[in-house]
C-alpha cells in the first residue's frame, strides 16, 4: 500500500513559465479559436509529442505551441487556468516568468501579452487567494541587444512586472552576454534572477551571480559539482529554485531518486521546489513536492523547510513574508 499523499502547505511558486502551463486541451482550443495550424492533427498525437531528450528538444515544442497565443484573452485564459490549478496545490504567492520575445518576435505586441496576463493577475487575490507578479525573461539564444531594448519598454507595467530573468537554450549562451541588460534592469529598480546550472556548467551560476548580480538562481543544480560554489551559495543564502519533475523530463538527472535536492537541503542551501513548465513535465507544484519527497524520503520537517524557504526566497515585502511564514507554521503543526 502506498503512503497517503501529504497535504499541500502554503507555498510561494518562484519558477514557473506561464507559457509552460499551456495544457494540450487549451492549446487545441486556442488553435481553433485563432485558426492556427498545429503540426499535430489531434489531441492524442499532440500528447505523444510531450516526450523530450533535453532542454532544446522541449523548447522546440514549447515555442511551437506558444504560437496559438494571439489575443489578450488567450493570455488571460492561460493565466486564469494556471491560477486555478496553483491555488488548489497550496500556492499562495507566485512570481511567474513570461517570455515577451517569444511573442513579439512573431508579431504579437507586448501590450497584448502583458495586458492579457494582467487581467487575470489583478484579481488573483480575490478569486484564488493568491498574489501573482511577473518576471520578464530574456531569451538567451537571441541577440542581447533585444534584451537591452526590452527593459525600458516594461516601465508601464512595473506594478505587475517586478523583475527580469534569463531563459531558453542555456549551453553556449553564458550569462555574461547579458551584463548590460541586467545593469539596465537594476537601474530601473527591477529584481534580477537567471536560469543557470540547469544544463550549463557551475561557471554559469558564478557568471549569473557576478556579472548579472542575480538575487536568485533558477535551477542551479549543477552547482553541486563545485564545492567552493556550494560554500558561497550557503554563506550568502542565495535561493535556488529547483524543479524536480522538469529535471527528470529534460534528463538533467536520470530519475527522481538521483535528484540532488536532498543533498542541497542537507548542505544548508536555500532551495525551493517549483514546477517550471507543469503542462509539459507532468505536475504542478504540490505534485513536484510529493513526487520528490517520495523518491528521496523527505519527511514533514523537510517539506516545512521547503515551504518556508519559498517565502524567504520570494520578493514579497517583509511583512507579507512573515504573514505567510506564520500560515506555514499553522498548517505544518495542524498536519
Query: Is the distance from CB of 315 to CB of 16 less than 8 angstroms?
Result: no
Residue 69 per-residue DSSP state = -
Query: Is the distance from CB of 102 to CB of 66 less than 8 angstroms?
Result: yes
| 170 counts as catalytic | no
Neighbours of 107 (CB within 10 A): 8
Residue with cell 507578479: 133
What track of x and - describes contact with ligand HPA for positions 192 through 231 (by CB under 6 A)? Answer: ---x--x---------------------------------
Tell me if 20 contacts ligand HPA by CB under 6 A.
yes
Counting residues that bind ligand HPA (by CB under 6 A) gives 11
Catalytic position from the list 13, 198, 302, 308: 198
Q: Which of 13, 277, 302, 308 binds ligand HPA (CB under 6 A)?
A: 277
Residue 276 assigned to a binding site: yes
The DSSP string of 81-130 is HHHHHHHHTTEEEEEEEE-HHHHHTTT--HHHHHHHHHHHHHTHHHHHS-
**Binder of residue 55, out of Zn ion, ligand HPA, none (CB less than 5 to 8 A by kind):** ligand HPA
The C-alpha atoms of residue 88 and residue 38 are separated, in whole angstroms, by: 30
**Binder of residue 287, out of Zn ion, ligand HPA, none (CB less than 5 to 8 A by kind):** none
Tell me if 269 contacts ligand HPA by CB under 6 A.
no
Residue 277 assigned to a binding site: yes
The C-alpha atoms of residue 35 and residue 37 are separated, in whole angstroms, by: 6
Q: In the complex, which residue's CB is closest to ligand HPA? A: 167
Residue 15 assigned to a binding site: yes
Q: In what order do the strands lie in the sheet with 270-273?
A: 11-13, 91-98, 131-139, 161-167, 191-196, 216-219, 239-242, 270-273
Residue 17 assigned to a binding site: yes
Q: Which of 168, 223, 241, 275 binds ligand HPA (CB under 6 A)?
A: 168
Sites of contact with ligand HPA (CB under 6 A): 17, 20, 55, 62, 167-168, 195, 198, 246, 276-277
Q: Just list the catalytic residues.
A: 198
The annotated binding site for substrate is made up of 277
Amino acid at each position: 500500500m502506498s503512503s497517503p499523499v501529504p497535504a499541500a502547505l502554503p507555498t510561494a511558486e518562484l519558477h514557473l513559465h506561464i507559457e509552460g502551463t499551456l495544457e494540450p486541451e487549451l492549446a487545441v482550443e486556442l488553435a481553433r479559436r485563432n485558426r492556427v495550424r498545429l503540426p499535430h492533427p489531434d489531441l492524442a498525437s499532440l500528447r505523444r509529442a510531450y516526450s523530450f531528450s533535453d532542454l532544446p528538444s522541449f523548447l522546440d515544442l514549447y515555442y511551437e505551441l506558444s504560437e496559438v497565443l494571439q489575443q489578450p484573452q488567450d493570455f488571460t485564459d492561460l493565466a486564469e487556468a494556471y491560477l486555478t490549478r496553483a491555488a488548489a496545490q497550496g500556492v499562495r504567492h507566485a512570481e511567474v516568468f513570461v517570455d515577451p520575445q517569444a511573442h513579439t518576435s512573431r508579431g504579437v505586441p507586448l501590450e497584448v501579452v502583458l495586458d492579457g496576463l494582467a487581467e487575470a493577475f489583478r484579481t488573483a487575490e480575490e478569486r484564488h487567494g493568491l498574489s501573482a507578479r511577473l518576471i520578464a525573461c530574456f531569451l538567451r539564444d537571441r541577440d542581447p541587444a533585444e534584451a537591452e531594448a526590452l527593459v525600458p519598454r516594461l516601465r508601464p507595467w512595473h506594478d505587475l512586472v517586478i523583475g527580469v530573468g534569463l531563459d531558453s537554450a542555456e549551453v553556449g549562451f553564458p550569462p555574461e552576454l547579458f551584463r548590460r541588460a541586467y545593469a539596465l534592469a537594476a537601474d530601473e529598480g527591477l529584481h534580477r534572477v537567471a536560469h543557470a546550472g540547469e544544463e550549463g556548467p557551475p561557471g554559469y551560476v558564478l557568471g549569473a551571480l557576478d556579472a548579472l548580480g542575480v538575487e536568485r538562481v533558477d535551477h542551479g543544480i549543477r552547482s553541486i559539482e563545485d564545492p567552493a560554489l556550494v560554500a558561497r551559495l550557503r554563506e550568502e543564502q542565495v535561493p535556488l529554485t529547483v524543479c524536480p519533475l522538469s529535471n527528470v523530463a529534460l534528463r538533467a538527472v536520470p530519475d527522481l531518486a538521483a535528484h540532488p535536492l536532498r543533498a542541497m537541503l542537507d548542505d544548508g542551501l536555500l532551495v525551493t521546489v517549483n514546477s517550471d513548465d507543469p503542462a509539459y513535465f507532468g505536475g504542478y507544484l504540490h505534485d513536484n513536492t510529493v513526487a520528490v519527497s517520495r523518491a528521496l524520503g523527505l519527511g514533514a520537517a523537510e517539506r516545512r523547510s521547503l515551504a518556508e524557504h519559498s517565502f524567504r526566497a520570494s520578493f514579497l515585502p517583509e511583512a507579507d513574508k512573515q504573514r505567510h511564514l506564520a500560515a506555514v507554521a499553522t498548517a505544518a503543526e495542524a498536519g
